[in-house]
Amino acid sequence: MSAKVKLGIDRIGEPEVRKLLEGKRLGVLSAASGLASDYRFPIDILNEKFNVAGIFAPEHGPRGVLGPGEKVRGGRDRITGLPVWSLYEDVIARREATENSRYMPADDSLSAVDCVVYDMQDVGSRYFTYVSSLFYLMKVCGARGIPVVVLDRPNPLGSRVEGNVLDPDYSSFIGLTEVPIRHGMTVGELARFYNGDYGLGCDLTVVEMTGWDGSMYWDDTDLPFVRPSPNLPTLESIWVYNGICLFEGTNVSLGRGTAVPFTVVGAEYINPVEYAAVLNADESMKGVRFSPAFFEAYYSKLTGVALYGVTVHVTDKRELEPVRLGVTMLRTLEAMYPDDFEYSAPKNPANRWHIDLAAGGTELRLSGLPAEELCSKWQAEADRFAAEKAKYYLYRH
């Protein structure tokens, strides 16, 4: 049974929320990542009701049409005619980046606004760049004395936590702060954590949801769903994303360039029948089954060749542990194909391994720890994090 959840954007007509926004030149950091309850995008609603001066554009652009890693350019939004200020270019960056970072608002955009509104749909993952954009926005606005209003949204995976806490030496835009891979927070709670633990000094207001709590997955609400980014077209892809995304740093396709990204993985050297059988026999993975897969990717990596692997079928989203899923699938490939499976070597000037940035350290790549041992170690880190950061929670977890 679904529950009636009211989003932050749905509350902007309430007097206490309106007074935060009325009479101010607003910058809006938003995109086509999530809808309001009336099936409209936040950018269009805010522009209709308030004085919006411009749109800060995250990865994929203000309307969510650009591919992963594709440079977001400034210009004008085709629908509203508003200026678009880019906050994304695919470079390796650290949290200590200076204020002229390509991930941070530029001086000319900041001088045009009195307040910035953030409304982006997160997917409960440390990798997701929308929350990295939130951190940098808060950092700059804190330094400039510009208030930030976060219109809160559900974590579509609820409040469970899983995976290791990021080693700060491996901070990047796909893992910026010291949270678990599956962090278990809403964007509003993350904003409170950023402000508190990182001393951003941001004048922050979170417009909370009503009717939501941490036991709820997205489909436990009555909210409309749209893909939060181009390669997460379904809820099932979001459920497995925290694990399958680790394949990004390997010589295995994770289904980008197909109609089913993140729910298929494959490479030329895999025997799909054998791989599926071994995974299905592994009783440590709950809520998931595997079938042989045969596919071709039309963009991203390993294009133009037949790929062999598995389709991931979620049978119980509440039992599923996506980080364990990804780690176990990787360790299984390492054991089955030791001469073929590889972690992708660095191709960036900083000589940083993508798998280390995604995994938040070198343990996955270098430790050799079995999946069960590594996942148990990581779960202990995640549980400590949740206990220590409960002060930032806004909802029942």
For 208-245, write each residue's pLDDT tens digit. 999 999 999 999 999 999 999 999 999 999 999 999 99
Class of domain 9-222: alpha beta
In this prediction, residue 191 has a pLDDT band, given cuts at 50, 70 and 90, of very high
Cα dist. 267→77, 112, 213, 324 in Å? 39, 49, 40, 21
Q: How confident is the model at residue 73 (pLDDT cuts 50, 70, 90)?
A: confident
120 vs 131: CA distance, rounded Å: 8
Check residue 98 and give its pLDDT. 44
- Measuring CA to CA, how many Å separate 288 from each of 300, 310, 337? 26, 12, 23
Give the C-alpha separation, 233 to 215, whole Å.
Answer: 23
pLDDT higher than threshold 90 for residue 347: no
Tokens of 345: 């070597």
Q: Examine the pLDDT at 93 and tell me if it is beyond 50.
A: no
| Per-residue pLDDT tens over the stretch 131-147 | 999 999 999 999 999 99
pLDDT of residue 2: 56
Q: Where are the domains of the chain?
A: 9-222, 235-361
Spatial contact of 306 and 292, defined as CB atoms under 8 Å apart: no
pLDDT for residue 96 is more than 60: no
Closest CA to 361 of 148, 126, 150: 126
Rounded to whole angstroms, the Cα distance separating 54 from 389 reads 34
Quote the mean pLDDT of the chain: 94
Residue 142's contacts (CB-CB under 8 Å, 6 or more residues apart) are 195, 200, 201, 202, 203
CA distance 241 to 19: 38
Report helix, strand or coil for 223: coil
Topology adopted by domain 235-361: Aspartate Aminotransferase, domain 1 (3.90.1150)
Domains 9-222 and 235-361 share a fold: no
pTM: 0.95
Quote the CA–CA distance of 60 and 62 in Å, as a whole number: 7
Name the residue with tokens 């004048």: 203
If we measure between CA atoms, which residue out of 9, 16, 59 comes closest to residue 36? 9
Spatial separation of the C-alpha atoms in residues 191 and 122, rounded to whole Å = 12
Q: Return the structure tokens found at 379.
A: 């779960």
In this structure, the number of other CB atoms found within 10 A of the CB of residue 78 comes to 10
Residues near 76 by beta carbon (within 8 Å), at least 6 away in sequence: 82, 83, 84
pLDDT value of position 64 = 76
pLDDT per residue over 245-282, tens digit each? 999 999 999 999 999 999 999 999 999 999 999 999 99
pLDDT at 351: 85
* Max Cα distance, the chain (Å): 64
Please choose, from the candidates 241, 184, 189, 187, the residue with its C-alpha nearest in 3D space to the C-alpha of residue 214: 184
| Structure tokens given for 173 | 């835009």
Residue 115 has pLDDT above 70, yes or no: yes
**The predicted structure's pLDDT at residue 328:** 98
CA distance 55 to 153: 19
> Angle at Cα 227 formed by Cα 226 and Cα 232, nearest 5°?
155
Helices (H), the chain: 15-21, 42-49, 107-110, 129-144, 187-198, 235-244, 272-280, 322-336, 354-359, 371-388
As a whole number, mean pLDDT of residues 199-207 equals 98
